[in-house]
Structure 1
Amino acid sequence: MSETRTAAPQAPEPTRSSTRNALVLVALVWTVQLVALMAALSGIAQADVAIHFRTTDIAWFTLMTLLTGTFFLPFAVKAAALFGKKRVLLVATGLGFVGDLVAALATDYRTLLIGRGIAGVYAATAPLAYAITRDVFPRRWVGLASGILAGGIGLVAFGGPFLSGWLLDDYGFRGVLWFMAISTAASFVLVAAFVPESPIRTAGGRMDWAGGILLGAGVTALVYAVGQGSHWGWDSGRFVGYVIGAVITLVAFVLVERRVAEPLFPLSMTRRRPVWTVLLATSVAAGSLSAVGVVIQLLILMPNIPTVSEGLGWSGTHNAIVTSPISAMIIVAAVGTGVLARRMDARVILGTGSALTVLGYGIGTHLHHNAAQIVEMGLIAGLGTGMVMAIVPIMIIEVVTPEEQALANGMQTLGQGVAQIVVSQLAFVVMAQNGAILKGTQFYLDAGFTNGLWLVVGCCTLGALLVTLIPKSKRLDEVPAGQAA
């Protein structure tokens, strides 16, 4: 039987200087937002990558990192509970750097995907960083720090297009890949230098290898089937076989978790209504928003070729200039959410944010043909995106104990990753119904982009409706938080 130990409260810790707290926050923000930055840069670079390698399977350029990240995430979260969150952060970051190097040096598309797959292990850093935030910051810092970590997506959205525009315009997609490698190395240095180890750890525990393999295999099989469904045929025996195999594997995972002494994800935690409803609603809401970049970036950056492609054909720099007000809106909303969460019901914030994304992208289904329309769509959706992304880690804090924090963050990230992968791949499938292949590259007509946006709107609507399942819980300022909580 495992037990949880926490470091005893010590006087010097709560009075740690604001400068030191700020350095820890900077390191964690860089670590968390590098996951979002990689996704943003990948989305912007994918058009150039598809054309360079002449591939119709460009979806896997972004999905490979999500796929491997999803598979290894449960192991990383469990290892963090056993061996320390900072230690696992450094291991995941080191593997991410190796993958980025392989991708940057790749001379063929298969090697590029292998590198992207290895780099996907870095995705495990985000839930661990959120958990460390609760563990090592004083109570008064926790809400603001969590909001800033999540709200940094706005900084990524703001600076990412300018950065990628410069890299793409001057150095091509190779410049983007090398920047990823350099940034991952910087993340490793920042975490090693400034982030303290969490005092909360499980003593005498063991890794649940069987549960992790079953969960990873089941989710991977399901995601792979969705990704290949359009090629195999949605009614083909191969697709049905993969889906049935995935379901059987996931059922086996649940049965194993009920029997092992130290399960990967304790079912006693996931059976609590506040926990499973928050995990479900936030996974769908945030996962759908993470997937919208697939549609928007292809719409903006794909060229305009009569009867073949009806993208806007903007350069990376022009895209950055037009979308900068949207990014600023995300930042403002996210930081404001971190402050409001101490005074407002988090369910109201999540529901309002999801409703705004539905409204914004709903407008975009009809109006997405020039800069003014993109800004109009983005300002509304950006406000909602900032609210949703910032409230997600705060809602997890509100419904679990400090000892459960890393596990709950891992489950939410896993669910969000699966939602993002499925919605992203379905978006590619939907858009391809109104498109054409030219010289080995898949292009899309306007009807394809419109239908892709409608798919996102439907998924965001589902996320908003799921908020109604969440029962009232403690507010952020009422839950245990801070050093050695």
Structure 2
Amino acid sequence: MSSSTTPSPSPATTPAPAAKAPRAGMGARFALIALALMWPTQLLSLAGLLGGNAQASVAIHFRTTEIGWFILVNALVGTVVAPFAVKLSDFYGKRNVMIVITVIGLAGDIIAALANNYATLLIGRGIAGFYAPIAALAYASVRELFPPKHVGAASGIIGSGIAFVAIGGPFLTGWVIDSFGWRGVMWSLAIATAIGLLLLLTLVPETPHRVERTKVNWLGGLLLGGGAAALTYGIGKGGEWGWTDAGTLAFMFGGVAAVLLYIVTDLKVAHPLFDLTMASRRGVWSVFLATALVGATIFGTGIIGQLLVLYPKIPTVSDGLGMTATHYAVIGIPASILILVVGFGTGVALRKVDARLPLALGAAFAAVGFVLQRSWHYNSTQLMLLGVFSAIAMGLMVSSIPVLIIEAVSPEEQATANGLQSLAQGVLTTIVTQIVYVILAKDSTVAQGTRFYHDAGYKNAMLFGAAMAVVGLLTVALIPRLKRAEDVEAGEAVAA
């Protein structure tokens, strides 16, 4: 893949042909493809929602103080797998790779659902992490399967599909947890994954783009994933062992060193995992940085509200609100509807509006929401009203990020760009989530083997979320003006 401004296809690359304008009846076919790609992509959001809401039940059931790994092990495995999945999709086709990782993810969901101890549950959650690259591959598939003028809108619609998860997910979670406990949540994920697999098999055509099959930099991928895992583990143990402890520093600096070593090796090997040279262009690295920071902030801090609402209220022990999952779903209705409206509205508006604007507004709304919620988070009314800010932020973000990536790179670079952005956002989300757990743990009490959190911890975590949102907002200013997605033709580079 070329990183020049106007790349020309090499003999080793078979570029995706420009899609023709839809004929009569083709609109329905494109709609079905978009639906089929929306389901597995947004299943990641559903898994995060269901898994996050199940944390309290899992922690109390297994009497563990390490509930953070219920979420983190899934994300870390996804980080390790992502570069390989993207690379193999160039060789064998995105649809084929999506099918394989969905099957593996389904196996992990089933293991987790059948687990009778916490270790087995974590193993299942880890295997389910193989599913994580599905979003990057789905968005890259859009570039090859849709006409150029509809690529931006299709990506925005697929991204805004998170609203359906936001509306139906909480009620599904509430009904399942209140009726069947955390194990019902795991079976729900398995069923949803199976449906996604069926849609991929029946509705999504194979993407035409291929590159010559070469050696895969397996060592580099392990350095990248292992380094990210070591860094995350070190951050998680910093609060327990001490930030100057030799073990903490070894994991943290060792993790950073491994990631840097990956970059050096991938730039030098004949067949790198990613074409990292594209990141030398301002239009590319600035989009990666801004979207990863904003996305990681919004997704990585979601556990604050989940823990606050669903953990029990126990005087001097736990300052959770003790709501049922169903009640949590009810108070989230206005926010869920707003995500739908803002997401679809933004997807349509992006035909005329600079995609940097909604991303910046999303970060700003997130920051304001955290600041206000720090003072008002004690009852249903406050949570319902302030949920408006996070809903607007989510709708703006999920619609603008995929479009910005399309605008920043050429079609030949699309899969790699989606993989790199997804990888960067995944690593940062995991780190942000781990830092949130560390902040919460500083103001907590362990009772009967389970860690419970105090109000001061929730407040400090919200303040951290606000600070991260502001940093994300500032990085959006680094993105130069890009060509609009609907003006991009296949084979044409977008960002200098």
What interval of TM-score do these two structures reach, taking the shorter chain for normalisation? over 0.9
2:154 partner amino acid: A
1:247: Cα distance to partner?
A: 2.2
**CA deviations over 1:73-115 (Å, ceiling 9, x no partner):** 0000001111110010001100000100110010000000000
Matched, 1:333 2:342: yes
- The answer to whether the Cα contact below 8 Å between 2:113 and 2:187 also exists between their aligned partners in 1 is yes
Q: What is the rounded CA distance, in whole Å, between the counterparts of 1:200 and 1:145 in structure 2?
A: 19
Q: Name the SS for the 2:332 alignment partner.
A: helix
**CA deviations over 1:222-252 (Å, ceiling 9, x no partner):** 1221222222221110111112212222222
**CA deviations over 1:387-420 (Å, ceiling 9, x no partner):** 0121011100001111111111111111111111
Q: Name the SS for the 2:265 alignment partner.
A: helix
Which residue pairs with 2:275 in the alignment?
A: 266
Q: Name the SS for the 2:375 alignment partner.
A: coil
- The answer to whether the Cα contact below 8 Å between 1:45 and 1:168 also exists between their aligned partners in 2 is yes
Q: Name the SS for the 2:376 alignment partner.
A: coil
Q: What is the rounded CA distance, in whole Å, between the counterparts of 1:105 and 1:204 in structure 2?
A: 38
1:1-400 matches, within 5 Å, as 3-6=12-15, 8=17, 17-400=26-409
The 1:478/1:128 distance shift into structure 2, 3 A limit, reads same
Q: What is the rounded CA distance, in whole Å, between the counterparts of 1:204 and 1:448 in structure 2?
A: 51
The 1:256/1:16 distance shift into structure 2, 3 A limit, reads farther
Matched, 1:428 2:437: yes
1:13: Cα distance to partner?
A: 7.1
Q: Name the SS for the 2:451 alignment partner.
A: strand
Q: What is the rounded CA distance, in whole Å, between the counterparts of 1:109 and 1:268 in structure 2?
A: 42
- The answer to whether the Cα contact below 8 Å between 1:2 and 1:205 also exists between their aligned partners in 2 is no
Name segments (4+ residues, structure 1) moved above 4 Å. 7-16
- The answer to whether the Cα contact below 8 Å between 2:35 and 2:158 also exists between their aligned partners in 1 is no
Q: What is the rounded CA distance, in whole Å, between the counterparts of 2:451 and 2:374 in structure 1?
A: 21
2:404 partner amino acid: M
- The answer to whether the Cα contact below 8 Å between 1:351 and 1:464 also exists between their aligned partners in 2 is yes
- The answer to whether the Cα contact below 8 Å between 1:66 and 1:421 also exists between their aligned partners in 2 is yes
The 1:77/1:7 distance shift into structure 2, 3 A limit, reads closer
Q: What is the rounded CA distance, in whole Å, between the counterparts of 1:8 and 1:168 in structure 2?
A: 47
Q: Percent identity?
A: 44
Q: What is the rounded CA distance, in whole Å, between the counterparts of 1:7 and 1:59 in structure 2?
A: 42
**CA deviations over 1:413-441 (Å, ceiling 9, x no partner):** 11111111111111111112222111111
Q: What is the rounded CA distance, in whole Å, between the counterparts of 2:96 and 2:283 in structure 1?
A: 30
Q: What is the rounded CA distance, in whole Å, between the counterparts of 1:140 and 1:109 in structure 2?
A: 49
**CA deviations over 1:170-224 (Å, ceiling 9, x no partner):** 1111110111111111111110110011111212433222321221222121122
- The answer to whether the Cα contact below 8 Å between 1:201 and 1:403 also exists between their aligned partners in 2 is no
TM-score (norm 1): 0.96
The 1:150/1:111 distance shift into structure 2, 3 A limit, reads same
Q: What is the rounded CA distance, in whole Å, between the counterparts of 1:103 and 1:222 in structure 2?
A: 25
Which residue pairs with 2:420 in the alignment?
A: 411
Q: What is the rounded CA distance, in whole Å, between the counterparts of 2:236 and 2:393 in structure 1?
A: 28
The 1:147/1:11 distance shift into structure 2, 3 A limit, reads closer
Which residue pairs with 2:4 in the alignment?
A: none
Q: What is the rounded CA distance, in whole Å, between the counterparts of 2:383 and 2:177 in structure 1?
A: 21
Q: What is the rounded CA distance, in whole Å, between the counterparts of 2:19 and 2:85 in structure 1?
A: 29
1:373: Cα distance to partner?
A: 0.9
Q: What is the rounded CA distance, in whole Å, between the counterparts of 1:21 and 1:383 in structure 2?
A: 28
**CA deviations over 1:272-307 (Å, ceiling 9, x no partner):** 111001001100100110012210001111111111
Q: What is the rounded CA distance, in whole Å, between the counterparts of 1:28 and 1:56 in structure 2?
A: 37
Q: What is the rounded CA distance, in whole Å, between the counterparts of 2:18 and 2:470 in structure 1?
A: 44
The 1:465/1:10 distance shift into structure 2, 3 A limit, reads closer
1:345 partner amino acid: D
Q: What is the rounded CA distance, in whole Å, between the counterparts of 2:329 and 2:306 in structure 1?
A: 11
Q: What is the rounded CA distance, in whole Å, between the counterparts of 1:385 and 1:186 in structure 2?
A: 25
Of stretches 330-339 and 50-59 in structure 1, the one that deviates more from structure 2 is: 330-339
Q: What is the rounded CA distance, in whole Å, between the counterparts of 1:397 and 1:205 in structure 2?
A: 26
1:11: Cα distance to partner?
A: 6.4
1:418 partner amino acid: V
Which residue pairs with 2:449 in the alignment?
A: 440
| Structure 2: gaps spanning 5 or more residues | 1-9
Q: Name the SS for the 2:446 alignment partner.
A: strand
Picking from 462, 479, 483, the partner of 2:488 is 479
The 1:124/1:10 distance shift into structure 2, 3 A limit, reads closer
Q: What is the rounded CA distance, in whole Å, between the counterparts of 1:51 and 1:8 in structure 2?
A: 54
1:10: Cα distance to partner?
A: 7.7
Q: What is the rounded CA distance, in whole Å, between the counterparts of 1:481 and 1:298 in structure 2?
A: 45
Q: What is the rounded CA distance, in whole Å, between the counterparts of 2:318 and 2:11 in structure 1?
A: 58
Q: What is the rounded CA distance, in whole Å, between the counterparts of 1:320 and 1:10 in structure 2?
A: 41
Q: What is the rounded CA distance, in whole Å, between the counterparts of 1:359 and 1:18 in structure 2?
A: 40
2:369 partner amino acid: G
1:464: Cα distance to partner?
A: 0.4
Q: What is the rounded CA distance, in whole Å, between the counterparts of 1:481 and 1:165 in structure 2?
A: 45
Q: What is the rounded CA distance, in whole Å, between the counterparts of 1:16 and 1:214 in structure 2?
A: 48
2:415 partner amino acid: A
The 1:13/1:82 distance shift into structure 2, 3 A limit, reads farther
- The answer to whether the Cα contact below 8 Å between 2:153 and 2:350 also exists between their aligned partners in 1 is no
TM-score (norm 2): 0.94
1:367: Cα distance to partner?
A: 0.6
Which residue pairs with 2:3 in the alignment?
A: none
2:399 partner amino acid: A
Q: What is the rounded CA distance, in whole Å, between the counterparts of 1:87 and 1:219 in structure 2?
A: 27
Q: What is the rounded CA distance, in whole Å, between the counterparts of 1:10 and 1:459 in structure 2?
A: 40
Of stretches 137-146 and 335-344 in structure 1, the one that deviates more from structure 2 is: 137-146
CA RMSD, 1 decimal: 1.7
Q: What is the rounded CA distance, in whole Å, between the counterparts of 1:122 and 1:268 in structure 2?
A: 27
Q: What is the rounded CA distance, in whole Å, between the counterparts of 1:461 and 1:422 in structure 2?
A: 17
The 1:323/1:308 distance shift into structure 2, 3 A limit, reads same
**CA deviations over 1:355-394 (Å, ceiling 9, x no partner):** 1111112110111111111122110221122101210111
1:332: Cα distance to partner?
A: 1.1
